[in-house]
């Protein structure tokens, strides 16, 4: 049983293969967070570890056994504000009478086999058991259901909450986080993935300090700036050892992750929808559902934490049909042409892909309305006849003649002021009449919280997909929210705009994936500005960054791999010198970096030399050979590009029969001491043949002694392909 309840001591014990999560019903039916860590036997009542101490200025709740019992110092599962816990709350509600005081206490619980996905929100499926705990604020009747799902094999527990208005009058939910957990000791480093456009998901590791530290986004999307993830690692934890807690949120809108270190050395960690600008009206009888938080604990360092997340997102997220299927090798025309193309130019590009081993040509921005630059036409999802007088058909036919398929770019969530759509419906943009408004990339956000907008998108974007043979969609989103005011919502619902937008975005994505089940959807938001599990649920790969430079990608892809499986990252070989960095890197390096993800190209094939064409043919052949490892392999980070002059990683198939490793030198250094690469994850008892060295080695030898690396100049790379004998 993954979930046990000891009814004598009223202890819940959630177990996975290697971990235990315990909480209990404590004095006065408060939920006491007892333990998260290595697996424990039995169902110990760990609330006995609580040390009574009189804490000045920590008020005692009514009926508390003695002066030591104060909510301010009791570790709590889902804290609220107003009744004596002054730390960050997980939930906030304003009642009809203006009161914001709530005091949720345990009422009952259910344990069921299996799991159900959340209603209206992407979440994991295929859990082993589900626990739902009902809490109630007695004076008002407000109910809260805490939901826990256990995924035993992959050491994952998910959490979410439902707030049910049973008060007899409307209430406003002002805060509703997905999880809260009080750790007894705050002696950890907090790890986050911060970044910016073209520099996403860099790793930040800083010691926790007293007070509240937080990451998050108020930009309307999960954003380039922080990723909806945080980890708490023992100070000595490394890739391979030490305790690490990881928390990831399946959500694409405003979010917060925070840790509050209290004066007594404990830490409250929380994650969920950002409360800034959030206020959700709940009529009597209605329910608010929070997004799902995915938690994992690893006693074997960051590497195992990441592999647990990878398994959760590879095997339990999104439609089963789209999981772990080999992705097409694409060529995208953005960096080849930008907006400057016409039918003839595109036909030439497609023609020159012949014989390269590419599966799909993707036509990027600029094919619709009268879009010749980024100041117009978003929302006008019909062909730009100035550039493509015969529509998309000649391009599609040209692709098919060569055994390729055709893909198309959309940016459905946007509207340009210079568009037929805006001229007809100026009120469909998020903005407030009588108030100046910001433009981002000269565009406005389409108000997806409106039902009529959703219908329009289904008709137009859906229409293009219906009427053309399109196998691949790149879905972009190129600005953040300002003046988030909807002309369609009443005053008391304006605090719902951000979340309604996200809910309807998911509805629209669900509509498209259900109606066009064979289309591969690729997410994008100015590169990796919305690289989150909410999007991955519908769109199994995301353009990782607008920075396509292989050396910058080392850090971006390394950081992204903390949470997301390499197959979820799109990576392309682009031109050299690189358009973002002006850096010159060898073809081999660009290919090896891109091949460690969902692979493709982003340059003008008409400009290739014969030698380069041959190299590409070899690369696409190699990718077909190794793509199984990218999809199904366990991922090991071998060398950290943030801390060393190199970056290395490897994939190992779960049965350890095959593996491949890549090592990339950043700058060449005189007398650089790193000359040996040690592998991980192999079978120590087995013998492996390394194709590139044409030699056999013991798995133990490869992991503990390593292989000598060839001399590598600036930005050069090498790879090893291993087969068990």
Q: Which residues are catalytic?
A: 476, 546
The residue number with the shortest CB distance to ligand DGJ is 365
Burial group, residue 654, by CB count within 10 angstroms (0-12, 13-18, 19+): exposed
Joined tokens for residue 437 = 């408004």
Taking CB under 6 A as the rule, does residue 381 contact ligand DGJ? Answer: no
Nearest-approach distance from CB 675 to ligand DGJ, in angstroms: 38
Nearest-approach distance from CB 649 to ligand DGJ, in angstroms: 24
Taking CB under 6 A as the rule, does residue 407 contact ligand DGJ? Answer: no
Taking CB under 6 A as the rule, does residue 634 contact ligand DGJ? Answer: no
Joined tokens for residue 366 = 């600029």
Rule CB under 6 A: choose which of 152, 365, 447, 547 binds ligand DGJ. Answer: 365
Q: Measured from the CB atom, is 216 or 527 closer to ligand DGJ?
A: 527
Burial group, residue 451, by CB count within 10 angstroms (0-12, 13-18, 19+): exposed
Please tell me the distance from the alpha carbon of residue 586 to that of residue 577, in angstroms, as a whole number.
10
Burial group, residue 386, by CB count within 10 angstroms (0-12, 13-18, 19+): exposed
Q: Measured from the CB atom, is 192 or 528 closer to ligand DGJ?
A: 528
Taking CB under 6 A as the rule, does residue 364 contact ligand DGJ? Answer: yes
Please tell me the distance from the alpha carbon of residue 531 to that of residue 224, in angstroms, as a whole number.
8
Q: Measured from the CB atom, is 224 or 622 closer to ligand DGJ?
A: 224
Rule CB under 6 A: choose which of 478, 570, 585, 588 binds ligand DGJ. Answer: 478
- Cα distance between the two ends of the chain: 39
- Pairing outcome for strands 707-708 and 717-724: unpaired
Q: Measured from the CB atom, is 72 or 365 closer to ligand DGJ?
A: 365
Given a contact cutoff of 8 angstroms between Cβ atoms, the answer to whether 40 and 11 are in contact is: no
Please list every residue from 71 through 110 that binds ligand DGJ, using CB under 6 A: none
Nearest-approach distance from CB 548 to ligand DGJ, in angstroms: 9
Nearest-approach distance from CB 709 to ligand DGJ, in angstroms: 34
What strand order describes the sheet that includes 658-665?
634-639, 646-652, 658-665, 717-724, 687-690, 695-698
Please tell me the distance from the alpha carbon of residue 328 to that of residue 405, in angstroms, as a whole number.
9
Write the DSSP assignment of 578-635 as a string of letters. -TTT-----HHHHHHHHHTSEEEEES-GGG--HHHHHHHHHHHHHHHHHHHHHHHSEE
Write the DSSP assignment of 144-200 as a string of letters. EEEEEEEETTTTEEEEEEEEE--SSS-EEEEEEEEEEEEES---EEEEEEEEETTEE
- Which residues lie closer than 8 Å to 110 by C-beta, 6 or more apart? 131, 132
Nearest to 666 by CA among 546, 555, 578, 574: 555
Rule CB under 6 A: choose which of 21, 521, 543, 715 binds ligand DGJ. Answer: 543
Instruction: Give the interface size with ligand DGJ as a residue count (CB under 6 A).
Output: 11
Nearest-approach distance from CB 366 to ligand DGJ, in angstroms: 8
CA distances from 282 to 81, 498, 716 (A): 19, 16, 58
Please tell me the distance from the alpha carbon of residue 374 to that of residue 501, in angstroms, as a whole number.
23
Nearest-approach distance from CB 237 to ligand DGJ, in angstroms: 34
- Name the DSSP class of 59: P
Given a contact cutoff of 8 angstroms between Cβ atoms, the answer to whether 447 and 453 are in contact is: yes
Nearest-approach distance from CB 609 to ligand DGJ, in angstroms: 25
- Pairing outcome for strands 444-445 and 129-137: unpaired
Taking CB under 6 A as the rule, does residue 334 contact ligand DGJ? Answer: yes
Taking CB under 6 A as the rule, does residue 380 contact ligand DGJ? Answer: no
Please tell me the distance from the alpha carbon of residue 520 to that of residue 517, in angstroms, as a whole number.
8
Joined tokens for residue 351 = 């023609």
Nearest-approach distance from CB 200 to ligand DGJ, in angstroms: 11
Residues 503-542: x where in contact with ligand DGJ by CB under 6 A, - otherwise, as a string: ---------------------x-xx---------------
Q: Measured from the CB atom, is 232 or 543 closer to ligand DGJ?
A: 543
Nearest-approach distance from CB 528 to ligand DGJ, in angstroms: 8
Nearest-approach distance from CB 393 to ligand DGJ, in angstroms: 23
- Which residues lie closer than 8 Å to 449 by C-beta, 6 or more apart? 486, 488, 489, 496, 497, 500, 501, 504
Rule CB under 6 A: choose which of 546, 549, 552, 634 binds ligand DGJ. Answer: 546
> Angle CA(205)–CA(80)–CA(53) in degrees, nearest 5?
80
Nearest to 628 by CA among 649, 652, 647, 648: 652
Nearest-approach distance from CB 281 to ligand DGJ, in angstroms: 35
Q: Measured from the CB atom, is 593 or 629 closer to ligand DGJ?
A: 593
Please list the residues that pair with 563 across neighbouring strands.
none
Taking CB under 6 A as the rule, does residue 476 contact ligand DGJ? Answer: yes
Residues within the interface to ligand DGJ (CB under 6 A): 334, 364-365, 409, 476, 478, 524, 526-527, 543, 546
């Amino acid at each position: 049983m993954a979930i046990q309840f000891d009814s004598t001591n009223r202890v819940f014990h959630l177990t996975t293969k290697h971990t235990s999560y315990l909480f209990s019903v404590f004095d006065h039916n408060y939920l006491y967070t007892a333990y998260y860590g290595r697996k424990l036997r039995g169902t110990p009542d760990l609330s006995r570890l609580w040390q009574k101490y009189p804490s000045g200025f920590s008020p005692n709740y009514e009926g508390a056994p003695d002066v030591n019992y104060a909510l301010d110092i009791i570790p709590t599962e889902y804290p609220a504000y107003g009744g004596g816990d002054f730390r960050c709350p997980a939930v906030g509600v304003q009642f009809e009478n203006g009161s914001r005081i709530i005091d949720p206490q345990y009422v009952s619980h259910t344990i069921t086999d299996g799991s159900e996905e959340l209603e209206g929100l992407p979440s994991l499926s295929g859990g082993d058991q589900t626990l739902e705990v009902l809490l109630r604020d007695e004076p008002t009747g407000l109910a809260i259901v805490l939901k826990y799902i256990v995924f035993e094999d992959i050491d994952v527990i998910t959490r979410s909450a439902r707030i049910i208005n049973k008060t007899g009058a409307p209430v406003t939910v002002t805060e509703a986080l997905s999880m809260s957990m009080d750790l007894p000791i705050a002696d950890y480093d907090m790890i986050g993935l911060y970044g910016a456009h073209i520099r996403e998901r860099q790793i930040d590791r800083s010691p926790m300090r007293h007070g509240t530290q937080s990451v998050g986004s108020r930009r309307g999307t999960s954003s380039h700036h922080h990723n909806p993830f945080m980890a708490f690692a023992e100070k000595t934890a490394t890739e391979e050892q030490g305790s690490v807690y990881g928390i990831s949120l399946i959500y694409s809108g405003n979010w917060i992750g925070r840790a509050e270190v209290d004066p007594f050395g404990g830490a409250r960690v929380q994650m969920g929808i950002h409360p800034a600008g959030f206020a959700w009206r709940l009529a009597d009888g209605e329910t608010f559902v929070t997004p799902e938080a995915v938690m994992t604990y690893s006693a074997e360092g960051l590497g195992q934490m990441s592999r647990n997340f990878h398994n959760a997102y590879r095997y339990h997220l999104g439609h089963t049909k789209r999981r772990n299927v080999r992705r097409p090798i694409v060529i995208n025309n953005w960096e080849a042409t930008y907006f400057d193309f016409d039918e003839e130019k595109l036909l030439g590009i497609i023609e020159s892909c012949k014989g390269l081993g590419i599966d799909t040509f993707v036509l990027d921005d600029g094919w619709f309305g009268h879009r010749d630059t980024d100041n117009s036409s978003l929302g006008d999802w019909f062909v730009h006849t100035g550039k493509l007088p015969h529509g998309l058909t000649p391009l599609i036919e040209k692709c098919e003649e060569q055994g390729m398929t055709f893909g198309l770019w959309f940016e459905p969530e946007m509207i340009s002021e210079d568009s037929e759509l805006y001229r007809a419906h100026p009120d469909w943009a998020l903005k407030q009449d009588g108030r100046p408004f910001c433009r981002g990339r000269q565009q406005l956000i389409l108000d997806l919280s409106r039902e009529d907008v959703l219908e329009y998108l289904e008709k137009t974007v859906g229409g293009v997909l219906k009427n053309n043979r399109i196998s691949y969609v790149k879905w972009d989103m190129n600005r953040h929210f300002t003046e988030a005011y909807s002309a369609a919502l009443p005053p008391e619902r304006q605090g719902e705009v951000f979340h309604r937008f996200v809910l309807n975005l998911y509805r629209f994505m669900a509509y498209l994936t259900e109606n066009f089940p064979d289309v591969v959807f690729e997410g994008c938001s100015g590169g990796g500005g919305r690289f989150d599990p909410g999007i991955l649920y519908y769109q199994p790969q995301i353009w990782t960054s607008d920075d396509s430079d292989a050396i910058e990608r080392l850090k971006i892809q390394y950081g992204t791999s903390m949470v997301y499986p390499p197959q979820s990252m799109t990576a392309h070989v682009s031109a050299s010198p690189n358009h973002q960095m002006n850096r010159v890197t060898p073809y081999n390096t660009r290919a090896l970096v891109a091949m460690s993800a969902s692979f493709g190209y982003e340059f003008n094939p008409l400009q290739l030399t014969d030698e380069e064409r041959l190299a590409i043919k070899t690369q696409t052949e190699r990718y077909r050979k190794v793509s199984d490892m990218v999809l199904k392999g366990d991922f090991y980070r071998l060398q950290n590009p943030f801390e060393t002059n190199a970056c290395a990683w490897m994939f190992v198939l779960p049965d350890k029969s095959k593996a491949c490793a890549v090592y990339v030198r950043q700058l060449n250094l005189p007398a650089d001491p790193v000359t040996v690469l040690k592998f991980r994850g192999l079978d120590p008892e087995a013998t492996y043949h390394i194709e590139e060295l044409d030699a056999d080695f013991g798995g133990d030898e490869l992991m503990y002694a390593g292989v000598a690396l060839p001399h590598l100049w600036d930005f050069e790379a090498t790879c090893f392909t291993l087969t068990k004998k």
